[in-house]
């Protein structure tokens, strides 16, 4: 990766999709283990980007998803089921957003 200019690097800090966190830091932030992050990656809930050295990097958006899965697992839901629930919740949220967007467009006409 080419070095970033200071202003460009600061802009990235506000980007929810920028893979800024190492696996260890990400696990610490959501109160989980690296093994948990690997498990939800294997279940295809999140796919961390890789650094040039091959290390996993997580974005804030991915950490929110992982934290929700962790809540479910802590409540007794198996990892695979928790991942499916989070995926369905995300799909529902997107469908509701699109529905609201379409309704808003209709109201303007």
Whether the predicted model's global pTM rises above the 0.85 cut? no
DSSP states of the chain: -PPPPHHHHHHHHT-TT---EEHHHHHHHHT--HHHHHHHHHTTS---EE-TTS-EEE-HHHHHHHHHHHHHHHTT--HHHHHHHHHHHHHHHHHHHHHHHHHHHHHH-
Mean pLDDT per block of 10 residues along the chain (109 residues) reads 57 82 96 96 94 94 96 97 97 96 74
């Amino acid at each position: 990766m080419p070095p970033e200019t200071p202003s460009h690097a600061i802009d990235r800090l506000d980007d929810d999709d920028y893979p800024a966190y190492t696996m260890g830091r990400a696990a610490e932030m959501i109160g989980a283990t690296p093994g948990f992050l690997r498990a939800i990656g294997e279940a295809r809930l999140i796919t961390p980007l890789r650094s040039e050295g091959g290390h996993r990097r997580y974005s804030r958006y991915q950490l929110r998803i992982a934290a929700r899965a962790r809540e479910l697992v802590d409540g007794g839901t198996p990892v695979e089921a928790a991942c499916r629930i989070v995926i369905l919740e995300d799909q529902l949220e997107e469908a509701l957003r699109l529905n609201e967007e379409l309704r808003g467009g209709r109201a303007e006409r």
